[in-house]
Structure 1
């Protein structure tokens, strides 16, 4: 005689663990919203009218890269487009031009609200005068490679050159860039685009502002 078996128990298997999406695999369609304090760079011999802000770590983590990233969105409700720069600490900072912060009616020390999304099409970067002069006087092969590469690749070359700390290093990098472009090299080699490892990139130093 066969004994009665106890009724089967419902499965207690745990649902599969949710994997943490990588920086590149995250959904960038939803706007990145955050607040930040508007800062003024420390005064130098060359006066500037722009201000800047540091992105919160949570906002920066939603961007597709720790390197320079072009975004569009709103600053205090006013539309803007800019390229975020790495701060060398795994996050980003935003340069706020005078026209934007004055139109928004804000000042250094104010807390501002932003919404942004990464741009799907990379805008053409501004070419510094010294690099433009070198490209103009370079061989046709240099100019052909420069014209053929993508705006993002051109931005990498520019970023590599402008991240030089000394004037002599910058001059040398321009010459090296022209030489590599002449050989068909499309991007600078071994360039730490985030600045984390090389410690070559950082946000501007901010003036001390009163609390409140």
Structure 2
């Protein structure tokens, strides 16, 4: 699969502090394993958790590494519990999947033919960056303003969101969940 070899490591399954009672767990990818990935930002991987195959998108942890959300079904498939050390093998996916476009953005693009044409010409990673920039806003008004700005920028030929920190290192918007006590 391309120029990347399988990356093997072990990590502890952690319970997120929030939301309370979450059924999922997560793990932080060791920096040495994360450094072998093609980017510090979101990246889709094919892998195996204790031999159980999966495809998932690793999120940036805001510290130069990544974290992985482990749904209850995946944890149960391998008989692992929070606190257990699990073995992983991951490899960057050959192709990034299409991101899910939020309804408000989909409507705005439908009403703006020039922006929609530019959107259609972007890679899935670039589209994901636009979506992440829009959805990272905490307030509805800010998200609405970012959607309008995105349509304007796309219509003018812009392909990337300026100054968006895809790794979370320079801002506070991206990071691994806080582990429960």
Both structures adopt the same fold (TM-score exceeding 0.5): yes
Map of 1:42-191 to 2, 5 A cutoff? 42-44=17-19, 48-136=22-110, 138-191=111-164
Label 1:141 to 1:48 Cα distance change in 2 as closer, same or farther (>3 A): farther
Measured after TM superposition, the shift of residue 106 of structure 1 is 1.6
Measured after TM superposition, the shift of residue 48 of structure 1 is 4.3
Q: Secondary structure at the match of 1:90?
A: coil
Measured after TM superposition, the shift of residue 192 of structure 1 is 1.2
Tell me the equivalent position of 1:19: none
Q: How many residues align?
A: 180
Q: Secondary structure at the match of 1:73?
A: strand
Larger Rg: 1
Determine which structure has greater relative contact order: mean sequence separation of CA pairs < 8 Å that are 6+ residues apart, divided by chain length.
2
Structure 2: state its 5+ residue gaps.
none
What TM-score does the superposition give when structure 1 sets the normalisation length?
A: 0.77
What TM-score does the superposition give when structure 2 sets the normalisation length?
A: 0.89
Measured after TM superposition, the shift of residue 28 of structure 1 is 5.0
Measured after TM superposition, the shift of residue 54 of structure 1 is 0.4
Distance 1:96 1:170 in 2: 28
Root-mean-square deviation (CA), in Å? 2.0
Structure 1: state its 5+ residue gaps.
1-26
User: Does 1:41 find its partner at 2:16?
Assistant: yes
Measured after TM superposition, the shift of residue 77 of structure 1 is 0.7
Q: Is the 8 A contact 1:28 1:118 kept in 2?
A: no
Query: Larger deviation: 27-36 or 173-182?
Result: 27-36
